[in-house]
Amino acid sequence: MTRRETFQVSSGAAEIYESRFVPALFAQWAPLVVDQATVTEGQRILDVACGTGVVARAAADRVGPHGLVVGLDLNPGMLAVARRIRPDLDWCLGDASTLPFPDDTFDAALCQMALMFFPDRRRSLAEMHRVARRVTVCVPAALPDQPAYGLLVRVAARHAGPEAVALLDTYWSCGDRDELVALVGEAGATVERCTTHTGTARFPSPDALVDTEIDGSPLAERIGAETREAIRRDVISELARYVQADGTVAAPLVAHVVTGRRAHSPEARRTS
Ligand SMILES: C[S@@+](CC[C@H](N)C(=O)[O-])C[C@H]1O[C@@H](n2cnc3c(N)ncnc32)[C@H](O)[C@@H]1O
């Protein structure tokens, strides 16, 4: 069986993730996720697989001083960066498949750009629905629906080894909309809403795109300088259509946001 990639990065890569990956790729989805989850003042919110905390920070702005935001992640390096930026929020080391909270601790659980890395997605979703009645999850759409990233993955796959290719496949592996909706149902929830959005991945240059994608991900530790240069060469020629007049890159990135509401109480589920 292929080992599923869990997106574990070193503490140095976590800093790069926050300074480069988050502004280029991830920050734009956080307001969409808290909007669709209808996060409001005073609520208790869990950000599952919070990384460096971009969604938790957006939720904290909404819930205000009378609410509670907890960010949970498997990776201590990510949590260290999250804690440095917002020491006032609660950061918790933990696994999405066994959440260390009692039933109904939260009004909502949010999970952005991470479900695809969980070894047991159904169980992790069920866990989120145990600790919160409503769950909102954001994942990248499948690779055939990603015009720019489809090219990027083909280039990386051409030059990097099989492990790197497995990592790149994982990113898009929850992105089939029908399968995503079915998965939420299998986790014991009713889908309230599933929306699809085209965002933009922005980079100062094609070089910055290559370096950010590699250095902010586990690829950084798995490829050498020669492979990196080969990827850079091909990306520059194959993604030329996304380079703007000022030399920056603006590439489409498509994502689904799905909100589920728990069908039965956690107690009823356990006894059924
Ligand atoms: C691409 S990052 C997304 C982080 C953040 N949600 C964001 O939008 O920037 C994926 C995160 O999932 C975390 N992760 C992977 N598997 C996990 C698990 N089983 N439980 C908790 N976190 C996990 C990784 O440590 C990483 O921080």
64-115 pLDDT tens trace: 999 999 999 999 999 999 999 999 999 999 999 999 999 999 999 999 999 9
Mutate to test the pocket of ligand 1, among 11, 117, 174, 217 (most ligand atoms within 8 A of CB): 117
Q: Where are the domains of the chain?
A: 11-261
Distance (Å, whole) CA 149 – CA 138 = 17
Residue 269 has pLDDT above 90, yes or no: no
- Atom 26 in ligand 1: which residue has the minimum CA distance? 51
**For 166, what's the count of Cα atoms within 13 Å in the CB-facing half-sphere?**
12
The position carrying tokens 């690829």 is 219
Kindly indicate the confidence band of residue 216, based on its pLDDT and cuts at 50, 70 and 90: low
Distance (Å, whole) CA 117 – CA 271 = 29
31, two tokens: 């307001």
How far, in Å, is the centroid of ligand 1 from the Cα of 102?
21
CB atoms within 10 A of CB 88: 8
CATH of domain 11-261: 3.40.50.150
E strand or H helix at 240: none
- Atom 15 in ligand 1: which residue has the minimum CA distance? 6
- CA 130 to mean position of chain CA atoms: 21
Residues with a CB atom less than 6 Å from ligand 1: 6-8, 22, 26, 49-51, 54-55, 73-75, 78, 95-97, 112-114, 117-118
Distance (Å, whole) CA 141 – CA 135 = 18
How far, in Å, is the centroid of ligand 1 from the Cα of 135?
16
The top-scoring range by mean pLDDT among 67-81, 163-177, 228-242 is 67-81
- 8 A C-beta contact, residue 177 and residue 260: no
